[in-house]
Amino acid sequence: MKSVLLLSLGILLLSDGCKQDLAPACPNAGALAGQATQLLGTVYYDRARGSYGIQVATSMDSADMGLTCNLPAEYQKELTKVRFSGTYYADEQSTGGPVGYRYYYLSISSIATP
Protein backbone atom coordinates (compact mmCIF):
# COMPACT_ATOMS: atom_id res chain seq x y z
CA MET A 1 0.00 0.00 0.00
CA LYS A 2 2.83 2.36 0.89
CA SER A 3 4.56 1.78 -2.46
CA VAL A 4 1.31 2.46 -4.35
CA LEU A 5 0.95 5.80 -2.55
CA LEU A 6 4.56 6.74 -3.30
CA LEU A 7 4.17 5.73 -6.94
CA SER A 8 0.94 7.75 -7.25
CA LEU A 9 2.58 10.77 -5.64
CA GLY A 10 5.57 10.46 -7.99
CA ILE A 11 3.33 10.29 -11.07
CA LEU A 12 1.34 13.28 -9.86
CA LEU A 13 4.49 15.34 -9.30
CA LEU A 14 5.93 14.40 -12.68
CA SER A 15 2.75 15.20 -14.57
CA ASP A 16 2.43 18.54 -12.76
CA GLY A 17 6.06 19.32 -13.57
CA CYS A 18 5.34 18.99 -17.28
CA LYS A 19 2.84 21.83 -17.23
CA GLN A 20 4.34 25.13 -18.33
CA ASP A 21 2.78 28.51 -17.76
CA LEU A 22 4.01 30.04 -21.01
CA ALA A 23 3.15 33.45 -22.36
CA PRO A 24 1.36 33.24 -25.73
CA ALA A 25 3.52 32.74 -28.81
CA CYS A 26 4.35 35.80 -30.90
CA PRO A 27 2.59 36.20 -34.26
CA ASN A 28 4.66 34.69 -37.10
CA ALA A 29 6.82 32.82 -34.58
CA GLY A 30 8.23 29.45 -35.52
CA ALA A 31 8.74 26.43 -33.33
CA LEU A 32 9.57 26.61 -29.65
CA ALA A 33 13.32 27.29 -29.41
CA GLY A 34 13.93 27.55 -25.67
CA GLN A 35 13.21 29.14 -22.33
CA ALA A 36 14.78 32.22 -20.78
CA THR A 37 14.90 32.22 -17.01
CA GLN A 38 15.98 35.38 -15.22
CA LEU A 39 18.41 36.43 -17.96
CA LEU A 40 20.11 39.82 -17.95
CA GLY A 41 19.75 41.68 -21.23
CA THR A 42 19.66 45.06 -22.94
CA VAL A 43 16.69 46.51 -24.84
CA TYR A 44 17.31 47.60 -28.44
CA TYR A 45 15.04 48.77 -31.24
CA ASP A 46 15.39 46.84 -34.50
CA ARG A 47 14.59 49.44 -37.16
CA ALA A 48 14.51 46.85 -39.96
CA ARG A 49 11.76 44.92 -38.17
CA GLY A 50 10.08 47.83 -36.39
CA SER A 51 10.26 45.90 -33.13
CA TYR A 52 11.97 46.08 -29.77
CA GLY A 53 14.25 43.26 -28.82
CA ILE A 54 16.23 42.14 -25.81
CA GLN A 55 19.84 41.26 -26.53
CA VAL A 56 21.68 38.77 -24.33
CA ALA A 57 25.44 38.43 -24.83
CA THR A 58 26.54 34.84 -25.35
CA SER A 59 30.26 35.63 -25.71
CA MET A 60 32.49 38.63 -26.40
CA ASP A 61 31.35 38.87 -30.01
CA SER A 62 28.01 37.09 -30.20
CA ALA A 63 24.52 37.50 -28.79
CA ASP A 64 20.97 36.23 -28.89
CA MET A 65 18.38 38.82 -29.88
CA GLY A 66 14.81 38.15 -28.82
CA LEU A 67 12.39 40.28 -30.85
CA THR A 68 9.64 40.93 -28.35
CA CYS A 69 5.96 40.80 -29.07
CA ASN A 70 4.77 41.92 -25.65
CA LEU A 71 7.40 44.27 -24.18
CA PRO A 72 5.65 46.56 -21.66
CA ALA A 73 5.70 50.25 -22.62
CA GLU A 74 7.81 51.26 -19.61
CA TYR A 75 10.71 49.13 -20.97
CA GLN A 76 10.50 50.39 -24.56
CA LYS A 77 13.62 52.52 -24.29
CA GLU A 78 16.90 51.57 -25.96
CA LEU A 79 19.84 50.52 -23.77
CA THR A 80 17.60 49.75 -20.79
CA LYS A 81 19.05 46.88 -18.75
CA VAL A 82 16.44 44.28 -17.83
CA ARG A 83 16.16 40.90 -16.11
CA PHE A 84 13.53 38.78 -17.83
CA SER A 85 12.01 35.36 -18.26
CA GLY A 86 10.08 34.13 -21.25
CA THR A 87 9.92 31.81 -24.22
CA TYR A 88 12.06 31.95 -27.35
CA TYR A 89 10.56 30.91 -30.69
CA ALA A 90 12.32 30.33 -34.00
CA ASP A 91 12.59 33.35 -36.27
CA GLU A 92 12.04 32.07 -39.79
CA GLN A 93 12.67 35.46 -41.41
CA SER A 94 15.97 36.47 -39.82
CA THR A 95 17.46 39.61 -41.34
CA GLY A 96 20.98 38.18 -41.24
CA GLY A 97 22.40 40.54 -38.63
CA PRO A 98 26.00 40.59 -37.49
CA VAL A 99 27.97 37.34 -37.56
CA GLY A 100 27.51 35.50 -34.27
CA TYR A 101 24.04 36.90 -33.62
CA ARG A 102 21.01 34.61 -33.47
CA TYR A 103 17.52 36.07 -33.79
CA TYR A 104 14.41 34.72 -32.11
CA TYR A 105 10.93 35.87 -31.25
CA LEU A 106 10.55 36.39 -27.52
CA SER A 107 7.34 36.19 -25.55
CA ILE A 108 8.04 37.70 -22.13
CA SER A 109 6.49 36.19 -19.01
CA SER A 110 8.24 38.49 -16.49
CA ILE A 111 10.51 41.52 -16.68
CA ALA A 112 12.10 43.97 -14.24
CA THR A 113 15.06 46.29 -13.98
CA PRO A 114 18.03 44.63 -12.26
pLDDT of residue 78: 96
pTM for this one?
0.75
Quote the pLDDT of residue 66: 95
Cβ-contact 12, 89 below 8 angstroms: no
The more confident residue out of 114 and 28 is 114
2-11 pLDDT per residue, tens: 443 333 434 3
Distances (CA, A) of 110 to 49, 91, 92: 23, 21, 24
State residue 9 phi and psi, 5-degree precision: -65, -45
Average pLDDT, the chain: 80
Tell me how far apart the alpha carbons of residues 7 and 22 are, in angstroms, rounded to a whole number. 28
Q: Tell which residue, 97, 100, 109, 102, has the closest CA to residue 36.
A: 109
Cα 2 to Cα 108: distance, rounded to the nearest angstrom: 43
For the chain, list the domains and their CATH numbers: 22-112 (2.40.50)
Summarised one tens digit per residue, pLDDT across range 41-97 is 999 998 988 899 999 999 988 999 999 989 999 999 999 999 999 999 998 776 667
How many angstroms separate the CA atoms of 11 and 103, rounded? 37
Query: How many helices (H) and strands (E) would you count in the chain?
Result: 1, 5
Q: Where are the alpha helices (DSSP H) in the chain?
A: 2-17
